[in-house]
Amino acid sequence: MSTSKISMYRLSDLTPDQRNDLLQRAESDITAFTDRVVPIIEDVRVRGDEALADFARTLDKANLSPKDIRATPQEFAAARSLVDPELIETLRFAADNIRHFHEKQLPDTLSLHETHRGVIVGDRWTPIDSVACYVPRGKGSFPSSVLMTAIPAKVAGVESVVVITPPGPDGSVDPATLIAAEIAGVEAVFKCGGAQGIAAVAYGTQTVPKCTKVVGPGSPWVVAAKKVLSSIIDPGSPAGPSELLIFSDSTVSADLVAMDLCVESEHGPDSSVFLVTADAQFADEVAQRIPEHWARMAASRSAFSRTVLTGAKGGIVIASNEDEAFAFINDYAAEHLAVLAENAWQYLPRIRHAGEILLGPHSAIGIANFVLGPSHVLPTGGAAKTASPLAVFDFMKRTSIASISQEAYGHFAPHAEALGRYEGFDGHANSVSPLRLAAMI
């Protein structure tokens, strides 16, 4: 089969600007979306449920009225009869693994230690009050996203956890999404997606509760709305279109690598997916095998994958050596990084930036995305250089705790007063001067 359409890049041949272009993702510049979400957000802020119903009709092609925005108990009950029992069992299997993983992450509620005699300092962890879990639907149905977002929130102890998701053309919520919400312990599911859904949980409507945080992956519209509303609601870590880097040293089959390149690239035309290798012959072999895997996919998914792997945001990157390969990998800071090699663990010390690192040929991306345990909501757009995967910590906040005894105060106060005087803060300095002890008599 012809490989001429698979995008191929030799790092040594690229100018600095061309190399930088390879690092860009679909959401890197969302200015156009930012301008377009502003009127949507304002409409939801002013009209609430009426605006959500209108956007459901115009954007989702779903005939909803304001009273239909919240999924009813009857819809949950109907979902139980619509979803295959084997899929329900799979959702429960995944939920158990996700719950176990995040329970092991839980920090001690109160951690204290004595730094000096009579000085106790430490941290207290408490859950945030409320969170909205965004579950996309535009290019498919994603009940796994419910489990990956809602379960960590529940484990963290968040009191109010809700799900927002776009309605289907018939005005319904995907039934497996409702089942997943039920398994995760979430009763409130609202039919509002896109920028309008983010606005709904940011401001609250007559039906949708105002939340303190929103998490979950979404389209550039969702990313833009989160950015615009970041002073109103905590948008969480960036979670935009899917992205994957695969590093291989050619010690596994080219067919396996070709197969895995089709995983994240089938999400949509805005995905970013590359193989990075220092073996040019192996790169050609992988490129030859990719079309065989397109032939095994549904037409819509293979079209997405083809668009990505033959476009400017995907393909194969050939490095001159492994040092150059890992320099590119760390600059890219991918959402998913799969190391397909017989001895994959040897490469772990060379990786600094990635949302998720999957080591070895059996560590399939599909397992990690659905049932392994760690959340598949990962930082995108290069944010993995400073951000982390969604975890219980995202649903908790840390408060510093301190207590100073009378004896310790006498040791610390003169130092604090000296700094207060130097920095010109008289109130600070006076509060730790002899005036304090006089005021306590």
What are the DSSP calls for 198-245, one per residue?
Answer: HHHHHH--SSSPP-SBEES---HHHHHHHHHTTTTSB--S---S-EEE
pLDDT of residue 361: 97
Which entry of 336, 353, 376, 417 is annotated as an active-site residue?
336
* Backbone φ and ψ of 133, nearest 5°: -100, 115
Residue 335 designated active-site: yes
Apex CA 41: angle with CA 158 and CA 149, to 5°? Answer: 25
Written as one string, the DSSP assignment of 68-123 is GSBPPHHHHHHHHHHS-HHHHHHHHHHHHHHHHHHHHHPPPSEEEEEEETTEEEEE
Compute the distance between CA of residue 143 and CA of residue 89 in angstroms, rounded to an integer.
13
DSSP alpha helices (H): ranges in 385-425? 406-422
How confident is the prediction along the chain (441 residues), in pLDDT tens digits per residue? 445 499 999 999 999 999 999 999 865 567 889 999 999 999 999 999 999 999 999 999 999 999 999 999 999 999 999 999 999 999 999 999 999 999 999 999 999 999 999 999 999 999 999 999 999 887 668 999 999 999 999 999 999 999 999 999 999 999 999 999 999 999 999 999 999 999 999 999 999 999 999 999 888 889 899 999 999 999 988 777 889 999 999 999 999 999 999 999 998 898 999 999 999 999 999 999 999 999 999 999 999 999 999 999 999 999 999 999 999 999 999 999 999 999 999 999 999 999 999 999 999 999 999 999 999 999 988 999 999 999 999 999 999 999 999 999 999 999 999 999 999 999 999 999 999 988 887
3-state helix, strand, coil in the chain (%, to 5): 50, 15, 35
> Contact, 178 vs 172, CB < 8 A?
no
Compute the distance between CA of residue 352 and CA of residue 232 in angstroms, rounded to an integer.
33
Compute how many other C-beta atoms are within 10 angstroms of the C-beta atom of residue 308: 31
pLDDT of residue 20: 95
Residue 86 designated active-site: no
Of 394, 82, 33, give the one whose Cα is nearest residue 228.
33
What is the dihedral sign for C-alpha 279, 281, 284, 288? negative
pLDDT of residue 28: 57
Compute the distance between CA of residue 271 and CA of residue 135 in angstroms, rounded to an integer.
17
Compute the distance between CA of residue 147 and CA of residue 366 in angstroms, rounded to an integer.
15
Q: What is the 8-class DSSP label of residue 419?
A: H
pLDDT of residue 437: 86
User: Structure tokens of 413?
Assistant: 């106060």
pTM, full prediction = 0.90
Adjacent-strand bridge partners of 399: 124
Which entry of 264, 335, 356, 417 is annotated as an active-site residue?
335
Compute the distance between CA of residue 152 and CA of residue 98 in angstroms, rounded to an integer.
8
Compute the distance between CA of residue 87 and CA of residue 330 in angstroms, rounded to an integer.
37
- Amino acid code (one letter) for 75: E
